[in-house]
Structure formats: structure tokens, C-alpha cells
Amino acid sequence: MRSDIWHYPRLELAKQVLGMFESGLSSALVFFAPRRMGKTEFLLKDMRPLANKQGWHVLYFSFLDVGSNAKEAFTLALIEFAIEMGVIKQEKFHKRIKKIGGGIAGIRAGLEFRDPQETKITLKEIIADLAKQNHKILLLLDEVQILSMDWKNKDFVAALRTALDVHKDAIKVIFTGSSQEGLRCMFSKSDAPFFHFGQNLPFPELQQDFIEHLVKIFNKATHRELDAEKLWQVFLEMSRVPQLIRSLVERLVLYPDLTLQQAKKQLLQDLAADREYVMIWENSSILERLLLKAIVMGEAELFSIDKRTALAQQMGIDILPVSTLQSTLRSLQRKKIIGSLPERGIYYIDDPNFKSWIEQSVVEA
């Protein structure tokens, strides 16, 4: 991989995590942070290289890219990984796998299980095979909440948990997730498959030294001077999203006449035009939209008679029954658009960027 001069190394964090695994203090952890906060970058550019250097065999797998084929794709990736490590022979799973299509985009794209039922068994076997050999193995499983979005994955997730649990001395895992509600379904609800499996840690936010790093690179690349303190302020105003601040700095490199504030304004406008959020909004019903707006505005007591009367009025109907309200909220939750803290009866928007989008595009508009 071409080295990325803008990348700010997070070696300390990577060392801490590996140290925890090496000492046996912990065998799995879950990093939560909203999207674009730097999880993948950390796994690929800090965690994996450091672990490799210290003799770990590392498999990175992102559930984001595989859609509804998550379990097959992951199992095939494990097979490939085990073959590359020399833990199993290529022939071992031959009978279970058939070739489909050309598979230009890598081997996995052209493979499929003959019998989908085989996936679970294979997963169990392959994890046992990997564990047998006294290698240090680290799995980096990115955006795992995707698995919780499809009930068809339920058995598979349970099998994965069991297999990892049995072999936790040999195989360490870092899970990441960007949906609080999705992760709750997998890791912290008492009936969740991975309940208490790993330590749940918020992914640490980047600090001022990250901004100083960007400034240093900027100054070197452009022979201009960027004010670190002002950039830090903008970073805070943009909710500390590293992706945004990096786009901003890159924009400043390309357009020397742009001020910091102008660049920030442009970026926020781009965010408001985000197709993905526009789509979610357009595909939502009137009641869903009204509820999203109410949640963003921090309204409590969604079920009160006053609130229901107000909502009914906005919808142009006479009454809004509690049951309709409940089922709409449940459906938003199933779609992982909102999450809830049942103990406190509070709802929240799952993706903070979508929350900002609603604020910008709906509430203030």
C-alpha cells in the first residue's frame, strides 16, 4: 500500500490493544464509533501493521462490502486465510465449494458453497483448524452490526460466537461497529448473541496532536501556514469527524484563496446534499419524518395525548392511536435509523451524521 502522508499514526492505542491480547487480559473487544471516525483507518494502517510486525497473523474483514452474503463471504475469507497460512490444504473444502462466474474481483467473488447449510459447519471447523496451530491470530471484523440486520444470520452469529469462545486463547478479535442500536442487538442486550463476549469500548476521539499533524503536513506541502488553533476550533465545530477535517485541509491545499470558514461552509453544504440521507428521508413516511424530527429536537413524551394530537393535526388526520405510533417507532428501529434506551424510554438517531443532516436540512430549513 502506498504510504499515506496525511495518516496520523495511532501507535499507542494499537500497542495497548495488542498488549491486552498478549497478556491474556482480554481476548475480544468491541470498538464503537459513528461512521467516518477513523475505525477502518486504525485497523488497516495502525493495528494490522503493528500486529504483523509482532508476529500475528491478521485477517481484516469488512461486513460493509458483502451485503446479504455476509456469512458465506466471511467463511470463504477465513478459508482463504487458513490456506495462505498453510493451516489447511486447498483441497479440504473443495467438495463443499463450487466455482461460479469468472471471479475477476478476487477468488472469493467466484466461489460459493454448494449447500448453504455447509457454511456453519465449515465456520466451526475452520476456526478450530486455525486455533490448533499455536499461531497468534487476530481477526479484525469491521462493521459487524451488519450481521444483526438480517435475522437469517442469527444461527451463523451464534455459531461464530461459540467457535470464538471455545478458541479464545488462540484467536483474538477486534469488532467495530458504527450503529449503536445494531451493536446493542449483538453485544449488550441480555439476549444478544455476543452478550458479555468482549469488552465494549468507545473508540477514542482524535485529539489536538492529530490537528497539529495535519498542519505540519499542510505547511510542508504548500509552504503556506495554517493556524493549528483555528483548525482545532473548526474540528470541534465539526464534531471531531476526522474525515471532514481532512477533506477540509485537502480543499485548502487545492484552493489557496479559500479561507478556513469558507471551506467549512462548503463542506457542510456537501454534507447536506448527501444522497444517502436524502434517500432515507424520501423513503420515510410522513409519520416517520415527523418522529425523526421530534427526536432530533429532543422532544420527550412522544406518546402523550398532546403530542399525538399535534402529530395527527400535522398529518391531517383525526386521531393518532398509540399503537400506530409504537409500530412506526419499532419500524424505524428495525431499520436501525433510530435506537432506544428502553430503561429510560429515550429514542435517539443512530447515525450522528444523519442527525446533523436532519438538523441542517429539515429543522433549520
Ligand X SMILES: Nc1ncnc2c1ncn2[C@@H]1O[C@H](COP(=O)(O)OP(=O)(O)O)[C@@H](O)[C@H]1O
Footprint of Mg ion (CB under 5 A): 39-40
Q: Which is nearer to ligand X, 4 or 91 (CB)?
A: 4
**Which residue, 76 or 140, is less far from Mg ion as judged by CB?**
140
Largest Cα span, the chain = 68
Cβ–Cβ under 8 Å, residues 114 and 97: yes
According to CB under 6 A, which one of 14, 17, 30, 33 is a site residue for ligand X?
Answer: 33
Per-residue three-class SS string for 231-249: HHHHHHHCCCCHHHHHHHH
Q: Which of 162, 239, 243, 331 binds ligand X (CB under 6 A)?
A: 243
CB-closest chain residue to Mg ion: 40
- Helices 118-132 & 70-85, crossing angle to 10 degrees? 30
- Tell which one of 242, 263, 339, 351 touches ligand X (CB under 6 A): 242
> Residue 57 interacts with ligand X (CB under 6 A)?
no
CB-nearer residue toward ligand X: 75 or 178: 178
- With a CB cutoff of 8 Å and minimum separation 6, the contacts of 172 are 21, 27, 28, 136, 137, 138, 139
In whole angstroms, the minimum distance from the beta carbon of 257 to ligand X comes to 23
Name the binder of 177 from Mg ion, ligand X, none, CB < 5-8 A by kind: none
- Please identify which residue in 29, 32, 36, 140 interacts with ligand X, judged by CB under 6 A: 36
Among 172, 184, 246, 355, binds ligand X (CB under 6 A): 246
Q: Is 143 helix (H, G, I), strand (E, B) or coil?
A: coil
Query: Look-up: residue for cell 478450530?
Result: 128
Residue 352 lies near ligand X (rule: CB under 6 A): no
Cα distance between residue 259 and residue 236, in whole Å: 17
| Span 167-186, contacts to ligand X by CB under 6 A | 178
Type of residue found at 49: P
355 touches ligand X by CB under 6 A: no
Output the CA angle 44-152-171, nearest 5 degrees.
Answer: 40
Residue 133 C-alpha cell reads as 496451530
Select the span of 36-44, 115-123, 261-269, 347-355 touching ligand X (CB under 6 A). 36-44
CB of 35 or CB of 213, closer to Mg ion? 35
**Measured from the CB atom, is 175 or 347 closer to Mg ion?**
175
**Phi, psi at 351, each rounded to 5°:** -95, 110
Kindly state whether residue 48 participates in binding ligand X, applying the rule CB under 6 A: no
11 touches 5 (CB < 8 A):
no
Q: Exactly one of 10, 48, 172, 355 binds ligand X (CB under 6 A); which one?
A: 10
* Identity of the residue, 119 or 179, whose beta carbon is nearer to Mg ion in the bound complex: 179
Q: Which three cell numbers stand for residue 288?
A: 416517520
Residues 194-223 that bind ligand X (CB under 6 A): none
The CB-of-33 to ligand X minimum distance in angstroms stands at 6
Distance between CA 101 and CA 91 in Å, rounded? 20
What is the closest distance, in whole angstroms, from the C-beta atom of residue 253 to Mg ion in the complex?
A: 24
Nearest CA to 164 out of 135, 136, 199, 128 is that of: 128
Q: Check binding of 8 to ligand X (CB under 6 A).
A: yes
Helix then strand then coil, % of the chain, to nearest 5: 60, 10, 30
26 binds, among ligand X, Mg ion, none (CB under 5 to 8 A by kind): none
Q: Which residues lie closer than 8 Å to 40 by C-beta, 6 or more apart? A: 62, 142, 176
Residues that bind ligand X (CB under 6 A): 6-8, 10, 33, 35-41, 178, 242-243, 246
